[in-house]
Amino acid sequence: MTFTPHRRHILAVATIATAAAAAGLLASCAGLIGPRQFEVPLERLQKNLGQRFPVSHRVLGVFDVQLSNPQLSTVGQNDRVALSAELTVSPMLMRQSWRGSLALSGRLVVDNARSAVFLSDAQVDRFAIDGIAESQQRQIAGAANILADKLIRDVPLYSFKPEDLRYAGVQFVPTGIRTTSSALVIMLEPATQAGQTAQR
């Protein structure tokens, strides 16, 4: 089939109009979808966290501290979580090592730059080492606190996948987080709406 210049012009205009209509439809869909949320079950968080352990760190140039077997739970309904782990402390100049436990809790924050959920404002709720004097335990507690700070800063509780933040062709950004007895609930908004809210 041969197209005349006039018909080719009509087809070009129709193509542009169709593309513009499709773009407008997508923008309209983004405006209609609005905020949404999705849940991350604690079992899934526990599995992901377990893959990042054990965590080891040399503290003060004296102690090798290792955390293993993490256990995660929510703390009531106040959007905090608790993290406990087995603790092993090995002084560099001694052949023995001590075992104990460390438990901390903190509130949840979304780090959009790293596209992940982290603990923040954490506090050590329990620290115990078996078989050592109280004076030594205080010294080791300082080493454990340093490792806990590193853990909170470097180990995410959850890392977002691309499909978590995209729905019906619309890109979303996390804007909040809360806990239930069995899951984290992530609040999302379309990226355009979140940007407009931030500018106000």
Report the run of H or E that residue 195 belongs to, with start and end: helix 191-199
- Please answer whether residues 138 and 146 qualify as being in contact, where contact means their C-beta atoms are separated by less than 8 angstroms: no
Q: Give bridge partners of residue 102 from the DSSP assignment.
A: 85, 127
- C-alpha 140, offset from chain centre: 29
Question: Closest Cα partner for 179 from 84, 83, 41?
Answer: 41
CB 179, CB 108: distance < 8 Å: yes
Classify residue 2 by its DSSP letter: P
Q: Enumerate the domain spans of the chain.
A: 43-159
> Is 69 in contact with 53 (CB distance < 8 Å)?
yes
- The 10s digit of each residue's pLDDT in 28-59 is 544 567 788 889 999 999 998 999 899 888 87
Return the pLDDT at 8: 52
**Residue 90 Cα distances to 87, 98, 109, 124, angstroms:** 10, 7, 32, 20
In the chain, the DSSP E strands lie at 36-41, 55-59, 63-75, 80-91, 98-111, 116-129, 158-159, 166-167, 170-179, 183-190
| Spatial separation of the C-alpha atoms in residues 187 and 37, rounded to whole Å | 4
Hey, is 83 helix, strand or coil? strand
DSSP state string for 163-190: GGGEETTEEEEEEEEEE-SSEEEEEEEE
What is the C-alpha to C-alpha distance for residues 69 and 164, in angstroms, rounded to an integer?
A: 27
Instruction: Check: CB of residue 50 under 8 Å from CB of residue 68.
Output: no
Structure tokens at 124: 């050590």
Looking at per-residue pLDDT, the higher value among 115 and 1 belongs to: 115
Structure tokens at 169: 């062709």
Mean pLDDT within 20-32: 49
Rounded to two decimals, what is the model's pTM?
0.73
User: pLDDT digit string (tens) for 129-176?
Assistant: 887 777 777 777 777 777 778 888 888 999 999 999 988 888 999 998
CATH domain 43-159 topology: Bactericidal permeability-increasing protein; domain 1 (3.15.10)
